[in-house]
Amino acid sequence: MKITVMLLSVFIATASFGKDLKIAVGLSLPPYVIKNQDKGMELDIVRNILKEKGHNPQFVFVPFGEVYKKLVAGEVDAALTLQSQLGGSVHYSDDYIQYQNVAVTLENKGIKISSLADLSKASIGSFQNAKIYLGAEFKKVVEANENYREFPVQVRQVRALFTQGIDVFVGDLNIFKYYRKNAGRASNTKQAVSVHEIFPRTNYQMGFKDKSIRDAFNAGLKEMKASGAYQAKINEYTK
């Protein structure tokens, strides 16, 4: 009887350890997710944590609107870039990544921005469809601004700030840092900038079907942050 119980315990432990995990990913958004290179801050952080816990993550790229549906339907084991208010039969992790939209200006211009209303007179460059994603107040302000434009290619948006084609960059801070780092020497990106936090931060969680794997991920996330490896991974893409 003791041998049977021992073997059963080993079987259960093995079943929950060393598992191939299908993980739904819906955003190809450098530096968070770089689809064509199967890397990015989010992918690297999640991959490192789960591998440390003995699992083999396999990222499955789907339309963003399908990510949660695939998880709930049981077609994947986990999913990225979710928020716990979605609910459902999902075990949500602790916050593992944070997005932060900001306004960025060249320091030597001395532009003061403390609210959305302060964007009304400056020339602004934002990302494509920002008027949809950044809320009704932002939309109202920029629609009344003749010097507002959206950039389908965000590296050009970053370059426009440093070449003074625009006064204000509006977009995610890590995206700004990533493209600043990769914009090329001709863009003169070494100029000092001011960052104005006029938008709320947005925290994201992972969703898991298996609670024990979620718990292992949360433990690994805390360990990665405590060791400094988490911030080092972010710095790899943004410094």
Q: How confident is the model over 53-70, as pLDDT tens digits?
A: 999 999 999 999 999 999
CA distances from 239 to 7, 176, 223, 233 (A): 50, 11, 22, 10
Which residues, 6 or more positions from 41, have their beta carbon under 8 angstroms from its beta carbon?
A: 31, 32, 97, 174, 233, 234, 236, 237
pLDDT band at 17 (very low <50, low <70, confident <90, very high): low
Tell whether 142 and 186 lie within a shared domain.
Answer: yes
- The CATH number of whichever domain residue 210 belongs to comes to 3.40.190.10
Tell whether 178 and 133 lie within a shared domain.
Answer: yes
15, pLDDT greater than 60:
no
pLDDT digit string (tens) for 106-124?
Answer: 999 999 999 999 999 899 9
Within a 13 Å sphere around the CA of 131, how many CA atoms are in the beta-carbon half?
13
**Is there a contact between 162 and 183 (Cβ–Cβ < 8 Å)?**
yes
Question: What total of structural domains would you count in the chain?
Answer: 2
Domain span holding position 67: 18-99+202-238
What is the pTM assigned to this prediction? Answer: 0.90
